[in-house]
């Protein structure tokens, strides 16, 4: 995806989680800079999200793979190693990661993980929407036990692009020095995961962004953040991911500035800054078709 031009994919995660997320995605795409959305196929408002996507044909929609903080697409009885007694994935992402790693160590567990990943891809295919990309809730798609399954299924389901999460720690700390330990830990973990994933995605012919932003500012991708970020965008394809929402808070996202993110995505100042920097806005569907 190397390019002399500066191209930015702007993606809203958790599409289909709630009606408020759906409303924010629709507005940010219609009135702002949002080019893409990542669909939770088992989200509480997934059906409405699919309807909204059909009404916005320029919106690139991909799969937001959920393996933590959600419900599975496969029958619970077929994936007992992945879920709690309540039939849900673990709420804590670290616990979910270890659970999936433990499952991978056993043949039955590997089959169950593959079953769930394919069930979500199949559910997306049933929407009839073109699959623009794949990423993961809490970036679980980069889990070393999950990524090989996605790559193996890529030809069957037409996976052409995937988020390669490795945010710019220097920029994040310069913009907001708070939570430095958390940001440094995130940086170490995701740089290692990206280093593992990058050559495998390249070998499979799956596109990935040269830069990704939003990890260290999760829930706080506001106007100030975007205005500071735009001059730093380099040649090639970068991706910014965010979590806009309207109305009620989204479960598990206490403290997120959903309204601030929506305001940033629809800000005339942000649009003017992108134009001044000659940044091209695009979706992965445009870039890989």
Quick: pLDDT tens for 159-209: 999 999 999 999 999 999 999 999 999 999 999 999 999 999 999 999 999
* Among 127, 60, 65, residue whose Cα is nearest residue 93: 65
Domain holding 196, by residue range, is 6-68+132-144+159-288
Distance CA 19, CA 283 (A): 23
Evaluate whether residue 257 is within a structural domain.
yes
| Domain count along the chain | 1
Evaluate whether residue 185 is within a structural domain.
yes
Sign of CA dihedral 93, 99, 100, 105: positive
Evaluate whether residue 125 is within a structural domain.
no
Evaluate whether residue 259 is within a structural domain.
yes
* Radius of gyration of the chain measured on its C-alpha atoms: 18
Please give the average per-residue pLDDT across 138-165, as a whole number. Answer: 96
Evaluate whether residue 183 is within a structural domain.
yes
Distance CA 52, CA 56 (A): 7
What's the pTM value of the predicted model, to 2 decimals?
Answer: 0.95
Evaluate whether residue 90 is within a structural domain.
no
pLDDT in tens, 1-26: 444 599 999 999 999 999 999 999 99
Phi, psi values for residue 65, rounded to 5°: -65, 125
DSSP per residue over 79-135, as a string? -TTTS-TTSS--SSHHHHHHHHHHHHTSHHHHHHHHHHHHHHHHHHHHHT-----EE
Pairing of strands 211-213, 236-242: parallel
- Predicted pLDDT of residue 250: 83
Higher-scoring residue by pLDDT: 219, 2: 219
Distance CA 112, CA 144 (A): 15
Q: Report the helix count and the strand count for the chain, using DSSP H and E.
A: 11, 7
Evaluate whether residue 23 is within a structural domain.
yes
Domain harbouring 230, CATH code: 3.20.20.370
Distance CA 230, CA 63 (A): 26
Q: Please, which pLDDT band fits residue 111 given cuts at 50, 70 and 90?
A: very high
- Predicted pLDDT of residue 4: 55
- Predicted pLDDT of residue 92: 82
Please give the average per-residue pLDDT across 249-263, as a whole number. Answer: 91
Please give the average per-residue pLDDT across 263-279, as a whole number. Answer: 98
Evaluate whether residue 79 is within a structural domain.
no
């Amino acid at each position: 995806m190397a390019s002399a031009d500066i191209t930015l994919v702007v993606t809203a995660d958790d599409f289909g989680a709630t009606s408020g997320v759906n409303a924010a995605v629709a507005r940010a795409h219609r009135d702002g800079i949002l080019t893409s959305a990542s669909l939770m196929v088992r989200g509480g408002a997934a059906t409405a999200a699919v309807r909204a996507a059909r009404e916005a044909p320029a919106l690139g929609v991909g799969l937001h793979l959920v393996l933590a903080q959600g419900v599975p697409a496969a029958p619970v009885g077929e994936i007992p190693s992945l879920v709690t007694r309540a039939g849900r994935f673990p709420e804590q992402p670290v616990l979910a990661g270890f659970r999936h790693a433990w499952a991978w160590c056993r043949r039955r567990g590997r089959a169950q993980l593959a079953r769930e990943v394919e069930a979500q891809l199949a559910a997306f295919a049933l929407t009839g929407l073109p699959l623009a990309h794949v990423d993961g809730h809490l970036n679980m798609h980069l889990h070393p036990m999950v990524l090989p399954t996605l790559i193996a299924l890529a030809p069957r389901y037409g996976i052409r692009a995937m988020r390669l999460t490795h945010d710019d720690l220097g920029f994040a700390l310069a913009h907001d020095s708070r939570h430095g330990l958390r940001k440094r830990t995130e940086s170490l973990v995701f740089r290692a995961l990206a280093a593992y994933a990058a050559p495998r995605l390249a070998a499979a012919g799956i596109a990935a962004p040269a830069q990704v932003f939003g990890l260290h500012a999760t829930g706080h991708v506001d106007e100030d953040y975007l205005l500071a970020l735009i001059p730093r965008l380099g040649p090639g394809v970068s991706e910014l991911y965010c979590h806009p929402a309207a109305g009620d808070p989204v479960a598990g996202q206490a403290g997120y500035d959903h309204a601030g993110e929506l305001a940033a995505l629809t800000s005339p100042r942000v649009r003017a800054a992108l134009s001044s920097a000659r940044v091209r806005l695009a979706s992965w569907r445009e870039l890989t078709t």
